[in-house]
Structure 1
Amino acid sequence: MCRGPRFSRAHASMTAVVGRVVYGVAALLLVVSLIGLRAATRDVFHYPVELPNGAPALVYEPGSERGWGEPPRPDAQFPVVVLAHGFASNAGTVSTLARHLARAGYAVITPEFRGHGRNREPFLYRAGDVSPGLVDDIGAAVLFARTEPHLDGTRIAVAGHSMGGHAALAYGGHDPSVAAVIGIAGGAYPKGPYDAPNVLLVWGSRDSSRRHIRLREVGAELAGRERLVLDRTYGDAARGSAVRLSEVAGAGHLTVIYSRETARRILAWLETTLGVGAVRARAPGFDGRFGWCGLGLLAQIVLLWGLVRALAPLLPHGSLPQIRHPLRALGLLFAALVVTLLGLAGVDPHWSRGPLGFVPLVGGRDLIAFLALVGTLLCVWLARNERIKWLALRDLRTYLGAAVLVGFGYLTLGSFSQAFWDLWPTPQRLPWGIVCSVLLLPYFGALEWLLRGPGRRGVWLPLLGKLLTLAILLGGAAIGLLPDAMVLSLAVLVPAFLFFELFAYRLSRVTGVPWLAALFQAAWLGLLLASFFPLDA
C-alpha cells in the first residue's frame, strides 16, 4: 500500500498532538505530585534546629502542622529518640523511620553528623572505629532534648543506622542515663566506661553475612552469653540490662531503615524501655510521600525526555562515530579498568588520600579517581588514534544545553527524593560538585566516543560498558584491591547509570554530539557524589 506525502504529514501532525498531550499530562502530574508531597509531609510537625555544638538537626514531633510553621501544642512532654544516620547519608535518609516514631508519640531528633549534609565541621575517618566527634554530635542532641521544656529529658533513647548505630552504642557506653540504645545494621561496639543500656540490635536478612555474624557477637557480649536466640529478650529492662537481637526478613543494609517491620520492632522496644508517647501508639503506616515521589519522578523523566527535543534547535549538532568493532571497544575499556584497578591497588585510603587527595569527599574521591583515570587512559588512546573530536567542547551551546537539562532534572529530583535522601548540595558542597563534574568528564566522554554509535549498537554497547565498570568496581572491592566505600557507591551508581543511559541515548540521537551526552552525565554524577559523601578537612 502506497503512503504518500499527505499521509506522512497527517502522521507527523498526529504524533505532535499526542506528544503535546503526553507532556501536558506529565506537567500536570508534576504539579499535582508537588502539592501531594507537601500535604503528605504535614502528618507530623517537623522543624530544623541548631544543636548546642552548632550541628544542624531536624526534629519530628507528634501532631500535624496547624499552619505555616505553627507547632502543635502538646498537653504532655514527649519521650525522645535521637536517631542518627549512617556514613555518606544525612538527616533525610532516616526521615521515614523518624515519621513512623513521631506518629507513634515520640519526639525524634535527627542530627547531621559532622562532614555530612549541612554540618560544616569536617569529618575524620577512622577505620574500624567510631570517628571522633560523632559521639559529641549525639551528645549535643541529647543535651538539646534535656533543655527543651516540651521534651521529656528523663526518657531518651539513642538509635542509629550503620555508622550511626556504631556511634549510638559508643554514646550508650558513656552516658548511662539514657534509657535505651538501638543499633540498626551497625556492627562495631566501641566499649566505654559503662555497659550500653537496654540494647536492641536489628538488621536486614539481606545484609552481609559478615555483619550478621558481628552483630550476633556484639549481642552475646552485651548479654554475657555465648549465643543469643533471635527475637528473645535477655536481661531486665527495668535494670537497664535488656538485650535483644532481631532480623527483618527481606531487608538489606539500606532498605532496613525504610521497612515498616523495622519501625514496628523498634516501637515495641521503645514501649518496653521508654513507655508509650504523648499520643496513643499505633502500628507504622505507609509513608504517604513514597507514592507522590514515584509519580513525580515518572513525570520528571517524561518532561526531561521532551525537553531534549524542545532544546534541539538551540543545541549543537554533529554525527555519531562509527563503531566497527564493538568487542574490541569493550576489550579496550576492560583493559583500562584493569590497569587502573591494579594502579590504585596499593593506595590505602586509611593512610593516603590517593591521587585526588585535594578533593575533600571521603570515599567519593576514591571512586572519582578511579573513573577519572580510566577516562584519561581511554581519551589518550582515542586521541592518538584520531577517534575523538574536541570541537563541541569549544561551543558554548554544549555547556548551556547540558546546564539547562541538568538544572531542570536535578531540581525536580531533589524535590522528589526527600523520602529517601536529601540531595540538595549546600553552598559548601556545590563548588566541589562542579570540580567532580570536570574530573568525571573524561570517563563519560571516552565511553560516548568509544561505544556510542548509530543503530542498535548505540543502545546496548554503552550500557554494557557501564555494567562492566560496575562489575570491576564491585570485584575490586570484594578482593580488597579497592576501598570498601566502592561498594557503598553502588547504591548511587546503579540507578544513576541506568538513568544516564536513557538520556545519553536520547541526546545522542537528537544531536549526534557525544560531548553533550558526556557533560550531562558528568555534571549529574558530580553533583550527586558531592551531596552524598562526607567532607573532611
Structure 2
Amino acid sequence: MRFLVGFIATVAILIGLFELHEGSRDLNVTRTFVGETPVTIFRPQSAAPTPVVVVAHGFAGSQQLMQPFAETLARNGYVAVTFDFLGHGRNPVPMHGDITEGIAITNALLRELTDVAASARKLSVSDGRLAVLGHSMASDIVVRYAQAHPDVEATVAVSVFSPVVTPDSPRNLLVIVGALEPAMLREEGLRIVNLTAGGAAIPGETYGHFSGGTARKLVLARGVEHIGVLYSHDSMVETVRWMNAAFGDRPHEEVDSRGRWLALVFAGIVVLAWPLSALLPEVSPSPAGASLGWKALMTAAFLPAIVTPLLLWKMPTDFLPILLGDYLMLHFLLYGALSTAVLFYLRKGQPPAVATTVAWKRVAIAAAAVSAYNILAFGLPIDAYVFSFLPIPARLPLIATIACGTLPYFMADEWLTSGRESRRGAYALTKFCFLLSLGIAVALNPMKLFFLVIIVPAILLLFVAFGLISRWSYAATRHPLPGALANGAIFAWAIAVTFPMIVR
C-alpha cells in the first residue's frame, strides 16, 4: 500500500510540475535588475512591439506570486514585467520608515515602481504604451503611479485600498476583489467605482468610457480570498478583457490555470511523506507524549491562547528588522512557554515523563530528515511558482532568530497532542486555539497586526500539511520531537523569507 501511494503521489507531482513548466514554454522569460531591484520580463515569442504591463505584488509577497497575471498577459500578446519591492523577496534593500505612518514607505515604493516602469518603457519590444497592475499594498502604489503619469492607459487594482482615487483618475480602473476577502475590501471596491457610477455601482458592470479614460468596473472573483484571488480564473479573464478594451488590439483570451497544478504538486508532496515516513528510525520503545484527557487538554489549549495576546498587547515587539516576524516570533515563544508551564502544572510540578531509552542520535537523524523534506520538497516548487522561498544572505540570521520562538511552541504542542492515550482531534483543537489567539491579538491591536487576518488561510494550510507530516513522523519514530523540530524549522523559515525587511 505504501509503495502504491508513493507511486501515485510521485506521478501527481511530476504531472503538476510538467504542466507548470509548460505554462511558460511558449514565452520568452528573462531576468534582470533595475538598480538592485530584481525584475523578470515575460513576453510573447512575437518580436512585434506591444504594450507593457508592470505587475506589482503586495505586502509580504514577491514577484513569483504575480506570475499567473504575468504569464496570462504575455500569452495574450502583452509584455509583463514583475519585480520585488524594497524589503521583499530577493530585493536586498530594506524598507525605511514607520509602517503605521506609511507616507515615507509609500513614497519609496512609488519611486521604485517609477524606476521599473521607466525601464520597462525602454524595452525593445515595447510600443511605448503602458498599463499597471497591483495587488493589496501595491494597489495603492499603482494607482498613485498612474495618477502621476496620465499616459498610463489602464490600471488594475486587486484587493484594493486607495484613498486617492477620483472619478476620472487613474485612467480606466478595474477593481478586482475576492468574494471571500474581508468585507472592508469589497466595500472599498464599491466606494471607488461609485465615484463614477454615482452611488449605484453593481459588481460586474462597467461605468464610464474607455475613450475618455473614465471606465470603471468592480469584479468579485468567485470563491477566493486574499491569496486565491491571484489564481482566480475570473481575475485572469477580467484583466485580459480590460487590457484588450483599453488598448483595443488584442482579440484573444488565454488564461493561466496554474492553481489546479500547484494543488496537485503540493498534495502529492504531502501524501508522499506518508510512505517515506516508514524509512525513519524508531527512537522510543513506546509512544511518548503527554496523553492528556479532554479536561486537561482543554485547559492546556485555551489558557495560552487567551493569555498570550493579553501579555503581548502593550509590550514592545519591534526588535527585528522584519515586519510582523518579530511579533510572530514572540507569540510563538510565549505561547510555547505557557503551554509548557500548564503541562508542568497538570503534572503536579513534575516534568513530562520521557522514556530513558530514547535514542537521541536517531532523534537528530529523524528530525534532520523530516526538516530537509519539508524545506526542499516544498521549498523548491514554492520558490519557482509561488513566492520567494530561497533566502538571501540577509535573511539567514532571521531564520535562526525566529526559530527561537517557533521551536518551543511546536515542542510543547507536539508533546501535548501526542502519547499512547492522546485524544483524537487534539491537534486540530490546539491549532484552532493558536489561530484564535492570533485573532485576539489582531482585535487588540488592529492597526499594527491586521495583516495577520489576511494570512490566516495560509497559516491554516501550513498547519494541515505539516501537521500530517509530523503525525506520520510520530507514528514511525514513536516520539514527538522529530516532527516538532521539523515544524519549528519550516515555520521559522517561512516567516523569515516572507515578511518584508525594514529599518525603522
Task: Normalising by structure 2, report the TM-score.
Answer: 0.88
Q: CA deviation at 1:28?
A: 5.1
Q: CA deviation at 1:181?
A: 1.6
Mapped contact 1:129–1:188 kept (Cα < 8 A) = no
Which whole-Å CA distance do the structure 2 matches of 1:276 and 1:499 have between them?
45
Equivalent residue number for residue 147 of structure 1:
122
Which whole-Å CA distance do the structure 2 matches of 1:178 and 1:500 have between them?
44
Q: 1:321 to 1:250 in 2, by over 3 A?
A: closer
5 Å matches for 1:54-203? 54-63=36-45, 74-124=46-96, 126-127=99-100, 129=102, 131-132=105-106, 133-153=108-128, 155-190=129-164, 195-203=169-177
5 Å matches for 1:357-436? 357-383=318-344, 385-388=349-352, 395-417=360-382, 418-436=384-402
Counterpart amino acid of residue 296 in structure 1: V
Q: 1:252 to 1:392 in 2, by over 3 A?
A: farther
Q: CA deviation at 1:229?
A: 4.1
Q: 1:191 to 1:214 in 2, by over 3 A?
A: closer
Q: Matched residue of 2:229: which SS?
A: helix
Mapped contact 2:322–2:501 kept (Cα < 8 A) = yes
1:244 aligns with 2:217: yes
Q: 1:181 to 1:40 in 2, by over 3 A?
A: closer
Pick which of 399-408 and 159-168 moved more.
Answer: 399-408
Q: CA deviation at 1:190?
A: 3.6
Mapped contact 1:160–1:183 kept (Cα < 8 A) = yes
1:526 aligns with 2:481: no
Q: CA deviation at 1:122?
A: 0.9
Note the alpha carbon deviations across 1:206-229, whole angstroms, 9 max, x for none: 2222222222223334x3944534
Note the alpha carbon deviations across 1:167-213, whole angstroms, 9 max, x for none: 11111222222122221111123479x93222222222222222222
Equivalent residue number for residue 254 of structure 2:
284
5 Å matches for 1:195-214? 195-214=169-188
Equivalent residue number for residue 19 of structure 1:
2
Pick which of 423-432 and 75-84 moved more.
Answer: 423-432
1:268 aligns with 2:237: no
1:473 aligns with 2:442: no
Mapped contact 1:392–1:513 kept (Cα < 8 A) = no
Note the alpha carbon deviations across 1:384-438, whole angstroms, 9 max, x for none: 7223368899945434422222222322213433444343333332332232223
Q: CA deviation at 1:114?
A: 0.8
Which whole-Å CA distance do the structure 1 matches of 2:136 and 2:445 have between them?
21
Note the alpha carbon deviations across 1:349-374, whole angstroms, 9 max, x for none: xxxxx33x333221222222212111
Q: CA deviation at 1:375?
A: 0.7
Counterpart amino acid of residue 492 in structure 2: G
Mapped contact 2:132–2:152 kept (Cα < 8 A) = yes
Equivalent residue number for residue 301 of structure 1:
270
Q: CA deviation at 1:21?
A: 4.4
Note the alpha carbon deviations across 1:312-368, whole angstroms, 9 max, x for none: 15x566641342433223213311221111112235xxxxxx33x333221222222
Counterpart amino acid of residue 439 in structure 1: G
Mapped contact 1:23–1:302 kept (Cα < 8 A) = yes
Task: Normalising by structure 1, report the TM-score.
Answer: 0.83
**Where do 5+ consecutive residues of structure 2 fail to align?**
none
Which whole-Å CA distance do the structure 1 matches of 2:342 and 2:280 have between them?
32
Note the alpha carbon deviations across 1:10-67, whole angstroms, 9 max, x for none: xxxxxxxx4334434544554554444433431322221212x32112211123xxxx
Equivalent residue number for residue 323 of structure 1:
291
Note the alpha carbon deviations across 1:77-119, whole angstroms, 9 max, x for none: 0211111111111111111121111111111111111111111
Counterpart amino acid of residue 284 in structure 1: E
Mapped contact 2:110–2:144 kept (Cα < 8 A) = yes
Which whole-Å CA distance do the structure 2 matches of 1:29 and 1:512 have between them?
29
Counterpart amino acid of residue 365 in structure 1: D
Which whole-Å CA distance do the structure 2 matches of 1:258 and 1:93 have between them?
9
Equivalent residue number for residue 228 of structure 2:
255
Tell me the matched-pair count: 493
Q: CA deviation at 1:507?
A: 2.1
* Same amino acid, percent of matched pairs: 25
Q: 1:247 to 1:77 in 2, by over 3 A?
A: same
Q: 1:105 to 1:128 in 2, by over 3 A?
A: farther
Mapped contact 1:89–1:532 kept (Cα < 8 A) = yes
Q: 1:207 to 1:319 in 2, by over 3 A?
A: closer
Mapped contact 1:105–1:276 kept (Cα < 8 A) = no
Note the alpha carbon deviations across 1:253-308, whole angstroms, 9 max, x for none: 3222211222222222212222335xxx4223352x44443333333223322332
Which whole-Å CA distance do the structure 2 matches of 1:247 and 1:196 have between them?
20
Pick which of 161-170 and 212-221 moved more.
Answer: 212-221
Q: 1:147 to 1:213 in 2, by over 3 A?
A: same
Q: 1:500 to 1:230 in 2, by over 3 A?
A: closer
Larger of the two Rg values belongs to structure: 1
Q: Matched residue of 1:116: which SS?
A: coil
**Where do 5+ consecutive residues of structure 1 fail to align?**
1-17, 64-73, 348-353
Mapped contact 1:216–1:228 kept (Cα < 8 A) = yes
Which whole-Å CA distance do the structure 1 matches of 2:259 and 2:184 have between them?
31
Pick which of 178-187 and 329-338 moved more.
Answer: 329-338
Q: Matched residue of 1:429: which SS?
A: helix
Q: 1:261 to 1:319 in 2, by over 3 A?
A: closer
Q: CA deviation at 1:128?
A: 7.3
Equivalent residue number for residue 27 of structure 2:
44
Which whole-Å CA distance do the structure 1 matches of 2:268 and 2:217 have between them?
44
Which whole-Å CA distance do the structure 2 matches of 1:324 and 1:254 have between them?
37
Q: Matched residue of 1:238: which SS?
A: coil
Mapped contact 2:131–2:155 kept (Cα < 8 A) = yes
